[in-house]
Amino acid sequence: MDYGAILRACRKRKGWTQEDLAEALCIEQADISRIENDRKEPPMSLFQKWAMVTGSTDVLVAFIAGMEGMTILANILTITGTSIIGGFINYLF
């Protein structure tokens, strides 16, 4: 699966540069770039940490629940701030 666009959207939703995220994750900026451009697949532990530090745990829950990647991406980019993922999270908890 291509995670790059989803993870990039999480980073941008937070308003961070690749450098900001690299510092938060204690990895190199080049690795952020490789992951976002689908040249490197992140281990699940990094995916989880990425979601946590960017405040995108809704994305992680949707992924684990089996939501399709493009649906997740569409919901990340929802401008209104209300999304299917947010409703799904509220339903679960």
Q: How far apart are CA 8 and CA 70, in angstroms?
A: 13
> 38-56: per-residue pLDDT in tens?
999 999 899 899 999 999 8
Token representation of residue 45:
């532990």
At 81 the pLDDT is 52
Length of the chain: 93
At 1 the pLDDT is 61
Token representation of residue 13:
């939703």
> 76-93: per-residue pLDDT in tens?
666 435 444 454 444 444
Q: How far apart are CA 14 and CA 17, in angstroms?
A: 9
Q: Enumerate domains of the chain plus CATH numbers.
A: 4-92 (1.10.260.40)
